[in-house]
Amino acid sequence: MSAILPKQIGTPEGESLFRQSEKITDLKEGIKIVNSLKETLDYYGGVGLAAPQIGISKKVFIVHLEPDKDDTGLPNVGLKAYINPEILDTAHETNVYAEGCLSVFYATLYGAIARSNCLKIKYLDIKGKERIDEIDHPFHARVILHENDHLNGKVFLQRMKPEDFSRLHWEEDLDIRKK
């Protein structure tokens, strides 16, 4: 299998981005989706990707966080798969940060979104073992919440406050179609 250009909002193929995803009942299917997500994320870049973004309405997403020399505060999560995730709790404390998405105008549009600083998540790992993680890093929590939104048929634009739409910004040089 090869990298799949993420589905885009506003296109017929992107309709899957607005559907509720179904639970994974066969772990082998989940692992196959994780591998497709990994290939796509490796090719196009980014810190996370959910199955609906590659046209599969299943409850699976991946996160890939590795600090570099310029961002030593980022947790070294590496590549992690979340199968059938369930957000158990989120912190009341939030932060506002610009988010973009590989499925929103090819990762060129960014807007301010408030997200919880911390969360608790239950999921299956790629071995089928149930896990519960407490995420206490605001950016790591943001990525998980963003990807989990995709499983519930939402994109970050739907989380924006109406008054913040005037501050959306465009980053044409980040267009993933140029890869």
Which residue segments constitute the domains of the chain, with CATH numbers given? 12-178 (3.90.45.10)
Q: Give residue 179's pLDDT.
A: 84
More confident of the two residues 69 and 28: 28
- The model's pLDDT over 146-173, given as tens digits with 9 standing for 90+, comes to 999 999 999 999 999 999 999 999 999 9
Residue 51 in contact with residue 102, Cβ under 8 Å? no
State the Cα torsion 177-67-152-85 to the nearest 10°. 140
**In angstroms, what is the C-alpha Rg of the chain?**
15
118, pLDDT greater than 80: yes
Whether 172 is a known active-site residue: answer no
pLDDT-above-70 percentage for the chain: 98
3-state SS, residue 139: helix
pTM score, whole prediction: 0.95
Catalytic residue among 147, 163, 171, 172: 147
From CA 54, how far away is CA 37, in angstroms rounded?
A: 7
**Cα–Cα distance, 169 to 135 (Å, whole number):** 29
Residue-level pLDDT at 1: 57
68-96 tens-digit pLDDT? 777 667 888 899 999 999 999 999 999 99
Average pLDDT over residues 19-41: 97
